[in-house]
């Protein structure tokens, strides 16, 4: 049993080898990142922070855009209501105009008839 746990090919040596490989891979990754940072002359932490800031900015932009879009739809509804009211008023004014026109024509005809009868 102890051979299966601690012996060659056992659990402990296998885990140790896996952890050694993981440590080596992690170190290699860190070294490659450092080399890339030096070569590119870019600090990856600054890049990450910049991406975070950009992400926050986009989120705020989307929220502002949503607010503006909502406000635009509200204003479009208000404009639509205003247009309907203006159309209703225009129709009322047209009706008043037509009634005034009929009244003026009737008055003119009446005056003409009176003048004709008087002559």
Q: Tell me: the pLDDT tens digits for 33-78?
A: 888 878 877 777 777 777 677 778 888 899 999 999 999 999 999 9
Give the separation between CA 35 and CA 2, rounded to whole angstroms.
Answer: 44
**Percent of the chain whose pLDDT exceeds 90:** 50
CA atoms in the 13 A half-sphere facing the CB of 49: 5
* Domain contains 48: no
- Mean pLDDT for 18-36 is 89
* Domain contains 6: yes
Q: Mark whether 70 and 116 lie in a shared domain.
A: yes
The count of structural domains within the chain is: 2
- Mean pLDDT for 18-29 is 91
Q: Mark whether 64 and 115 lie in a shared domain.
A: yes
Q: Mark whether 61 and 104 lie in a shared domain.
A: yes
Q: Mark whether 25 and 1 lie in a shared domain.
A: yes
pLDDT of the residue at 80? 95
CB 11 within 8 A of CB 5: yes
* Domain contains 119: yes
Tell me the pLDDT tens digit for each residue of 81-119. 999 999 999 999 999 999 999 999 999 999 999 988 887
pLDDT of the residue at 72? 96
Q: Which domain holds residue 113?
A: 54-119
């Amino acid at each position: 049993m102890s051979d299966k746990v601690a012996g060659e090919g056992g659990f402990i040596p296998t885990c140790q080898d896996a952890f050694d490989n993981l440590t080596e891979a992690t170190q290699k990754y860190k070294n490659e990142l450092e080399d890339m940072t030096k070569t590119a002359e870019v600090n990856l932490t600054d890049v990450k922070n910049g991406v975070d800031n950009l992400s926050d900015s986009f989120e705020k932009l989307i929220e502002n855009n949503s607010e503006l879009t909502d406000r635009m739809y509200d204003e479009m509804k208000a404009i639509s209501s205003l247009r309907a009211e203006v159309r209703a008023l225009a129709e009322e004014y047209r009706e008043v105009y037509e009634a005034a026109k009929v009244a003026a024509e009737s008055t003119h005809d009446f005056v003409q008839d009176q003048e004709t009868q008087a002559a």
